[in-house]
Amino acid sequence: MKGIIIKCWGEAVTARFGKEKWGEILENSGYSKYKIVVASEDMDDAIAEKNFLASSNILGISSKETIDLFGDYFINTYSQKLYPQFYRKNDTLKKALSDMDDYHKKISQILSGARPPRLTCEWSDENKVTLHYKSHRNMFNFMLGILRGLCKYYNEYPTIKIIGRDTVEMVFQK
């Protein structure tokens, strides 16, 4: 995993809970509490997962709150700085969802060694989409947090229903 995910998480934790809590999470994950995470660095997937798992306990919030904090911060703060062109191009949630997989492909071409997840869409009609998450990482729940962050960003709140181990269905209001 590239450090971008952990760097973003560190910023989210620090903004809401302070540097001390972020240092505690880093130490619990096997790093120095003073580690500076670089977005382009390669990080061990197992340590990154441990980092997120430890976060709920250390921060005193549920796993869902952890995931939603990450998704909200990643979409509404962090990615706004990194990928402004994505948001300029995609002015609705439907457009953003449809473009996500292509955008991830572009990121893997630009950032050496990046392996972002695939997120493919199957539109059964203009208001119903099935999203398929494909990754070698077990981070489906984080994709759900990112989806909820996207909903908040676009101020569109379709129903989100998990219909499989790596699949969700979203139904938009008509």
Specify the pLDDT at position 151: 98
Long-range contacts of 75-79 (CB under 8 A, 24+ apart): 75/146, 75/149, 75/150, 75/152, 75/153, 76/149, 76/152, 76/153, 77/11, 77/12, 77/15, 78/8, 78/11, 78/12
pLDDT in tens, 7-55: 999 999 999 999 999 999 999 988 999 999 988 888 887 877 778 888 9
Specify the pLDDT at position 35: 93
What is the rounded distance in angstroms from the CA atom of residue 166 to the CA atom of residue 168? 7
Which pTM was predicted? Answer: 0.89
